Structures are given as structure tokens and as C-alpha cells.
């Protein structure tokens, strides 16, 4: 199964851009990339929970320096604070390696951000679901499904009918209705009963006579004779 990660949207500063805001966002994106690399390797907030209290406090203090530099709108302080936080992540990595901490196991998964803002994650087994939530950190927007659970959902009769159609027509795609199903007319046994009949066309006024079919027919008969 393919793996696709949901990344935070990179927003461009407002135009015309505020010089400090542009610099700040650029540096924070750099730091976010370092953080995500650390999380993919060790799990979200996992190593910070394993180090001793003094180490943990130093990391938190470094994060506070970033906030203070942002509030003061000081580019020099922000640059130093971000570089210091990068070193903090490097120190956490080194501590994890030195203490033999196991890295996040490879969990094959697929993520999809739904229209309501929630994130659907599909993994292979129930154990994978537990590991994914443990190592990637709990997220209230995320709901994790294993294949066995999806099979239960797909046992619904309406889904079975859809599966049968998709087996016959692999190119078929399920789409969202533009109104509740109850508002659609009943199609009847053939599915065509709700279509408007064109029988009224034959009940309209008689059209004006353009060709004298009787004369033309008599001439044809005379030539034949």
C-alpha cells in the first residue's frame, strides 16, 4: 500500500510582505522540516519523553526562545533560536542512538484528508493501527482503520451492490450526491420510469402540408407504366 503523509500547508506571507514575517516563516519552515524528520525516525514527542528532566527542560527552554524572538520581532535572536532548536533535535537523535532506542517500525499506510478536515488513515492490521498511533503521536483529527475493519464496513448491502458494479465496470467512480437520496425520484423497476415521456409530441397540432405526396406518387406510377 502506498504511503502518503499529510503535510502542513506552507503559506506565503501577505502581499506586500512584512520583512520580518517573511524571514520568520522561512526559518520556521526549515525548523519544521527538521522536526518532521526527527518524528519520522523516532515518533512524535517520543524521545523528549524518554530523556531525563534536565535535558527535557533545556529543549523546552530553547523552544521558548523562539517564541520570545518572534514576539520581539528580532531577526538576529530568531536566527540563533532556530539554529539552537535544530541542535536540540540533533542532541535528541544522538541520545536515542546512544541509548539504543528503537526507531519507528515501517508501517505501510495511506492518509487522506477528508472534506470535514479529519484525516483518515488506512493500515493493514490492528497492530499496525496501535503502532501508528503510538509512534506518530495522537491526533484528534485522525481516525485509523485497518483492513479488517474496512471489510466489516463494506459488508453493508448498499456497498456490496456498489462493489458488484465496480467489478463489472472498473472505471466506475463513486461520487457525492448533490442532494439527499430521498429527494431523487424513484426510477421504478427499469430505472427509467422517472424519465419524462415524449409521447405528447404526437398529440400536438397538425403540421402544414408542404409536399403533395399524392401528385408525386401518381407521376411515379405513370413513369413506371
Q: Can you tell me the distance from the alpha carbon of 153 to that of 162, in angstroms, rounded to the nearest whole number?
A: 13
pLDDT at 193 over 70: no
| pLDDT tens by residue, 105-152 | 888 889 998 989 899 999 999 989 988 887 777 788 899 999 999 999
Domain regions of the chain by residue span: 19-98, 105-179
pLDDT at 150: 93
Give the CA angle between residues 178, 170, 185 to the nearest 5°. Answer: 30
- pTM for the complete prediction? 0.53
Assess contact for 62 and 91: CB atoms under 8 A.
Answer: no
**Nearest partner of 5 among 104, 111, 108, 106, judged by Cα:** 111
* Percent of the chain predicted with pLDDT > 90: 43
Assess contact for 45 and 137: CB atoms under 8 A.
Answer: yes
Residues in CB range of 118: below 8 A, 6 or more apart? 141, 142, 143
pLDDT at 24 over 60: yes
Give me 89's grid cell. Answer: 533535535
Amino acid at each position: 500500500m502506498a504511503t502518503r503523509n499529510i503535510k502542513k500547508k506552507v503559506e506565503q506571507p501577505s502581499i506586500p510582505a512584512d520583512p520580518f514575517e517573511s524571514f520568520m516563516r522561512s526559518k520556521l519552515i526549515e525548523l519544521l522540516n527538521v522536526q518532521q524528520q526527527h518524528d519520522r525516525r523516532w515518533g512524535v514527542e517520543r524521545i523528549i519523553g524518554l530523556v531525563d528532566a534536565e535535558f527535557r527542560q533545556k529543549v523546552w527552554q530553547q523552544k521558548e526562545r523562539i517564541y520570545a524572538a518572534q514576539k520581539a520581532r528580532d531577526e538576529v535572536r530568531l536566527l540563533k533560536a532556530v539554529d539552537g532548536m535544530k541542535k536540540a533535535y540533533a542532541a535528541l537523535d544522538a541520545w536515542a542512538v546512544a541509548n539504543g532506542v528503537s526507531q519507528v517500525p515501517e508501517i505501510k499506510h495511506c492518509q487522506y484528508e477528508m472534506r470535514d478536515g479529519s484525516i483518515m488513515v488506512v493500515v493493514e492490521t490492528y497492530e499496525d493501527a496501535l503502532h501508528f498511533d503510538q509512534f506518530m503521536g495522537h491526533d484528534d483529527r485522525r481516525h485509523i482503520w485497518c483492513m479488517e475493519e474496512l471489510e466489516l464496513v463494506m459488508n453493508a448491502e448498499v456497498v456490496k451492490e456498489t462493489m458488484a458494479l465496480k467489478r463489472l465496470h472498473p472505471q466506475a467512480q463513486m461520487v457525492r450526491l448533490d442532494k439527499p437520496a430521498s429527494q431523487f425520484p424513484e426510477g421504478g423497476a427499469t430505472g427509467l420510469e422517472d424519465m419524462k415521456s415524449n409521447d405528447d409530441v404526437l398529440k400536438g397540432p397538425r403540421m402544414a402540408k408542404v409536399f403533395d405526396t399524392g401528385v408525386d406518387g401518381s407521376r411515379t406510377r405513370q413513369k413506371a407504366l
